[in-house]
Copies of this chain bind each other. A is one copy, B any other.
Amino acid sequence: MPTSPSRDLQTFKNPKPDRPYEIRMECPEFTCVCPVTGQPDFATIRLTYVPAELCVELKSLKLYLWAFRDEGTFHEAVTNRICDDLVKLLQPRFMEVVGDFAVRGGIHTVVVARHGKRPDAL
C-alpha cells in the first residue's frame, strides 16, 4: 500500500453549500489483508455525509479504496481510518463510514464510525 492513500483523494466545490443535504456512496468492492494471518478480507464500504464546502470526487474515491488492497489492517481500524481521512479532507457537517465485512469464523462483523451530528432536517 502507498504510505498515504489519502493523498490521492480529490475534491470538488459543493454546488449547494448553503443547504445541508446528504450524499450516500456504497462500494461493494473493497478488499484488504488480515495483519495477523495475511489472508484477504472483503467488505462493502458505505459512506453517508453532509458536505460543507467540498465534495469527494467519485473516481479518486474509487482509487483511494482500491489502495487498501495490499494493506494489512483490522476491521475496526480501517473503518475509523477511512472516516478520519475523509473528515480531514472534506471538513463535512456530518460523516458516517460503515464497513460491512464478509463472514469469518461463522461471524459477520459490521463497524459504524460517525463524525459530527446529523443535521436535524436530515
Chain A contact residues, CB within 8 Å of chain B: 12, 14-16, 19, 21-29, 31, 39-40, 42, 51, 55, 58-59, 61-62, 66, 69, 74, 76-77, 79-80, 83, 102-117, 120-122
Copies of this protein, total: 10
Q: B26 and A39: CB pair below 8 A?
A: no
A106 CA to B72 CA, complexed, in Å: 18
Q: Of B19, B51, B111, which is within 8 A of A22 by CB?
A: B111
Instruction: Please name all residues of chain B whose beta carbon is closer than 8 Å to the beta carbon of A76 when the two chains form the complex.
Output: 14-16, 23, 51, 55
A102 CA to B44 CA, complexed, in Å: 13
> Least Cβ distance of A72 to chain B in Å?
13
Known: A39-B66, A104-B58, A117-B121. A109 touches B15 (CB 8 A): no
Q: B62 and A106: CB pair below 8 A?
A: yes
Q: A110 and B24: CB pair below 8 A?
A: yes
> Least Cβ distance of A17 to chain B in Å?
10
A/B interface sample: 30 pairs, CB < 8 A: A12-B74, A16-B80, A19-B80, A21-B80, A22-B111, A23-B109, A23-B110, A24-B109, A24-B111, A24-B112, A27-B107, A28-B102, A28-B106, A29-B31, A29-B40, A29-B42, A29-B102, A31-B31, A31-B40, A31-B69, A40-B66, A42-B106, A51-B76, A58-B107, A58-B109, A61-B107, A102-B106, A114-B122, A116-B121, A117-B120
